[in-house]
Every structure is written in C-alpha cells, then in structure tokens.
Amino acid sequence: MPHSQPSPQTTSDLLSSAFALRSSICAGINGEILIPGDKSISHRALILGGLAIGTTRVSGLLKGADVMSTLDAMRQLGVDISEADNGDIIIHGVGLHGLTTPDAPLDLGNAGTGVRLLMGVIAGQSITATFTGDSSLSARPMRRVTDPLEEMGAQVSYLPENKAKGLLPVTISGATPVLPADYHSNIASAQIKSAILLAGLNARGITKVTEPHISRDHTEAMLRHFGLTVEQTILEDGRHEVSVAGEGLLRAADIAVPRDPSSAAFAMVAALITPHSHITLPGISMNPQRVGLIATLQEMGGSLVLSNHRIEGGEDVADIEVRSSLLHGIDVPEQRAASMIDEYPILSIAAACASGKTHMVGVSELRVKETDRIAVMADGLRRCGVKIGETDDTMTVFGTNSDGNNSSAHSAISGGVTIASQHDHRIAMSFLSLGMVSKSPIIVEDVSTIATSFPGFAALMNNAGAKIKRQS
C-alpha cells in the first residue's frame, strides 16, 4: 500500500488560518495512514509526568493546539519541559507538592480536557490559579467539575454573571487540607472522574468516584504506570467505582503515546463510505473504553479487521485494516456512549451513507461539547438531504443508501452546502469526510480548529486520495 503522511508545507498551507476547505467526491481512500498520537493520553502524560518525581520521556505526544495548551500551562506551574532532538518530550517532574502559583492566568485555548484535569490538580495543591480559554471553551459549563472540587475543600470563584452556568474564567485556590471524596456522578465522564482523582492525590485518605458505567480510564491506567495503586470495581448494578489513596508517590516513567482512535475514526468512516477504498491504520489505541465506534461500525456491516495486538506504553494497541463497505443502520446501545462520545459526529456521517435507520441514545453529553454537536450535525445533514430526528438525549439518522449500492454514482447525499463548524474540529472533519461522497462539494468554514486534535488531517487524507482543497 502507498504510505500516507503529510508534507509540512502542505499541512501548514491547509490549516494555518481560518479559511474554508472544500471537499469533493473522490475515487477512493487508499494506503497506510499514520494517525497522530492520542490526545487524551497526551494531556495526562504531561500532567502526571509533571507531578512525578524524576524525569519522564514521552514519545509520540500529539503536538496539536489543545495538548500544547496543557504543556504551556504545566510550564507556568513550574515544570521544566523540553523537546529532544528526536521530537520526544522531556518532563522534569516536581512531585505532588512542587507546583507553584503561576504569574498569569492559565489560558487553555480550546482544551476542554486540559482545563478540567488541571482544575483537579490545582484543587489538590496549596496554590491558586485562574483558568481562561477561547470563546468556545468559555461557553462550556464547568460547575459539574468545580462543584465536587469545592466539596473537597477547594475555593472556587467565578465572575458573578458566570457563576450559575459555571463559565470561564474561574479562579481555584487549592484545599488545605484536601478532603478525600466519595463522589457519586450522575453521568459517566472521564473528565469529572479524573479531576476528582487528581485532586485526591494529596488527600489524607481514599478518594472514590462512582459513575453510572465505566468511562475512559486513561487516568487510572497512567496512575498505575507511575506507581500508584488504583482500585476499580464494576458493581452488581453495573456502576463503576474507582478509588485511589492520597499522599502516595508518583515515580517518573517513560510513556509511548499510541495513535488516537478518535482521530482514526475519520479515516475509518471515510474509507467505509467511499467506494474502492482500502486503508491500513497502524498502532491505534485499543483501550477497552475507546473502541465503541469500531464495534458499532462492524455491527453496521463495516469491514474493519484488527491485527497485531500488542502493548505499547501500558496501553493496548492494534493495526486496523478498513475496506469500503455497504453499511446498514442499527440501534447503538446506550451503555456504549461513554466509550465513543467523541465519535458520534462521524458516526452520523456513516449512518447517513448507510441503508436503514441508526438510532443513538444516551448522547446528551454531545450538547455541551465544543458546540451542541447534535444540533450542528443535524442541521448540516438535513441541508445535505438527510432525514434526522433528535431529542435532548437522542439522535436518529435515516440512511440515504436505499438501493444498497456502494457507488458514488448512486449517492443520495446532495452536498453543495457551506458548513460553519462552529469552531468544532470534529464537526469540521466529519463534513469534510462526507464531501468525499456527496454529489456536489461540501465547503467547511472555521477549519483552523482541526489543528487542536488532528494537525495534518487534510494533507494525510489527500495523500490517500481525498480531494480537500482550500476554498478561494
């Protein structure tokens, strides 16, 4: 297979500013595509490496804008972080009590994971920090994270006009002492869970979080990687309980970041829906709480073959081979939502190109992401000729492939529209993927946000056969 990786010049040209991109029908997506490092793991590597004693070397770190915001914040908190000649990131950890009060607010840009995890870190330290972000991050609610941190003794201060909704900026002064938590969350959220666990690292006693069902457990896995004991239990009623003892010691440990399954999702779906496609995605993270989309696409009839299963950096990884396929609609199990919450926008693209109805339930979390992803996806798909149903917690996509013919000549996706991504990288990449099979090109605005999670997306896809061009 041809090897697909972007040239630096092409990547820069396509994603350096806020202009629009146009995606047109193509003859197929083919070759080996090297997906960037996992964003969730990259954030945690920087944070926990900074809280450890000793030097941590991180290979494969995603160097997108969101992760770089977390890196800059850790430097402001007093952690020495540098880049080796080979691109590895070197972190000189300061220990669980070594962070310092920053001289200026911590600007996390658009990094929702970074800001929420760092709130937990600060809540467990005897320091104070103010958190800010861009317009998108500043519209996202933070109270569901800061409320339990207040219960642990942290002082949280919002602007009066923002307090009810919990909008940035927010100032957090760490608890002294940190009170161990026994928190019962009504949603399965890795960000809420992780913030509480990180605050609890300096508590006297055991901090416990119970959630309706297990969410992404990268924090738990990495805490173990750095030497802590983390207890996880699935209760009889299906709830997930995780606990960690405070006042432990994190010891530096090198990390190899696997490739991001949430980013790989766009290449997978593009290859499935585009006729004459055959791609290989090496080294994709197979964390059990991240593979919901793969299972869903396979149940829809997608040809996805996993091979070469192995452990890298304490995480399960595998290579994925994808071929164009005739997809059909399914009912996506509600309990799967937490394992693929970021993938529902691109799943709705696959569903639009399938036959029959795809029903997604338990997805209210999508409404408080970078944007209201249910509303934005539904509006864009309707404009492309796709029938959509939605409620506060569900999304139903009625597939357009009624004749069961996986041919671009039979595409019922009209395209020919301009999509405002609302500064949401996953919205942008989803509609650029749809443009590969639509009758008329799809133009997507606000594409610069793609760099937050998948720098080089357009160039990688073009090298594999896509036709994504700058809109003049």
33/105 same-domain check: no
15/60 same-domain check: no
Final residue belonging to a domain, choices 213, 241, 256? 256
48/163 same-domain check: yes
318/339 same-domain check: yes
Three-state SS annotation for 269-315: HHHHHCCCCEEEEEEEECCCCCCHHHHHHHHCCCEEEEEEEEEECCE
Q: Tell me the pLDDT of the chain (472 aa) as tens digits.
A: 555 544 333 334 444 445 899 999 999 999 999 999 999 999 999 999 999 999 999 999 999 999 999 999 999 999 999 999 999 999 999 999 999 999 999 999 999 999 999 999 999 999 999 999 999 899 999 999 999 999 999 999 999 999 999 999 999 999 999 999 999 999 889 999 999 999 999 999 999 999 998 988 999 999 999 999 999 999 999 999 999 999 999 999 999 999 999 999 999 999 999 999 999 999 999 999 899 999 999 999 999 999 999 987 668 899 999 999 999 999 999 989 988 999 999 999 999 999 999 999 999 989 988 889 999 999 999 999 999 999 999 999 999 987 666 655 446 899 999 999 998 999 999 999 999 999 999 999 989 989 988 999 999 999 999 999 999 7
Whether the Cβ atoms of residue 115 and residue 198 lie closer than 8 Å to each other: no
Give the Cα separation of 276 and 392 in Å (integer).
37
Can you list the pairs that 375-379 forms with residues at least 24 positions away whose Cβ atoms lie under 8 Å?
Answer: 376/421, 376/422, 376/424, 376/427, 377/344, 377/345, 377/348, 377/427, 377/430
148/96 same-domain check: yes
163: CB partners within 8 A, 6+ apart: none
Find where tokens 């009060």 sit: 101
Give the Cα separation of 115 and 70 in Å (integer).
8
Final residue belonging to a domain, choices 225, 240, 256? 256
CATH number of the CATH domain containing 224 = 3.65.10.10
Domain assignment of residue 18, given as a range: 3-37+258-470
Q: Which pTM does this prediction carry? A: 0.87
12/57 same-domain check: no
Count of structural domains, the chain: 2
In eight-state DSSP terms, residue 399 is -
Catalytically active residues are 342
Whether the Cβ atoms of residue 136 and residue 423 lie closer than 8 Å to each other: yes
263/251 same-domain check: no
83/180 same-domain check: yes
Give the Cα separation of 75 and 249 in Å (integer).
21
Give the Cα separation of 106 and 124 in Å (integer).
16
20/57 same-domain check: no
108/159 same-domain check: yes
Final residue belonging to a domain, choices 256, 290, 310? 256
315/462 same-domain check: yes
Give the Cα separation of 60 and 39 in Å (integer).
10
284/311 same-domain check: yes
